[in-house]
Amino acid sequence: MRPSAIHGLKACIAGTRISVADIYVWHELLGMSPDQIAESYPGLTVSHMHTAIAYFHDHTQDIREQVQRGRETAIGVEAITPPLLPGKLAALNANGNPVSP
């Protein structure tokens, strides 16, 4: 099985920028069903999900490495540029404006 499209060296669903790695995360790691994923993203079908999942099973190691590299990149970016929201929420709470996280 071949990917429908390639974007930035990632196998993607044709006509979208949704990668097989995205489908892997949503389905395998977050436990979403193919129906739930298709309902959440207009333009995607359950057939797209099954094709992406089959591609994942044929390229498991590559997709898992791709996801791990993405995690490492996100951690590196966060270390360089910490998120601002926690500080803003703390400032609001300190000024008597309670905000739920």
Domain that residue 45 falls in: 5-94
Closest listed residue to residue 45, CA positions, set 57, 37, 53, 33: 37
Residue 47 domain-assigned? yes
The pLDDT confidence band at residue 15, using thresholds 50, 70 and 90, is confident
Residues in a beta bridge with 6: 11
The reported pTM is: 0.68
Q: What is the pLDDT of residues 36-91, one digit of tens each?
A: 999 998 888 999 999 999 999 999 999 999 999 989 998 998 889 888 888 888 88
| Cβ atoms 6, 20 nearer than 8 A | no
Domains of the chain: total: 1
Tokens of 33: 């069903």
Asked whether residue 99 is domain-assigned, the answer is no
CATH assignment at residue 59: 1.10.10
Alpha-carbon gap, residue 90 to 83, rounded angstroms: 13
Q: Give the model confidence (pLDDT) of 90-99 as tens digits.
A: 888 887 777 6
Averaged pLDDT, 29-38: 92
- Give me the DSSP letters along 34-67: HHHHHHHSTT--HHHHHHHHHHHHHSHHHHHHHH
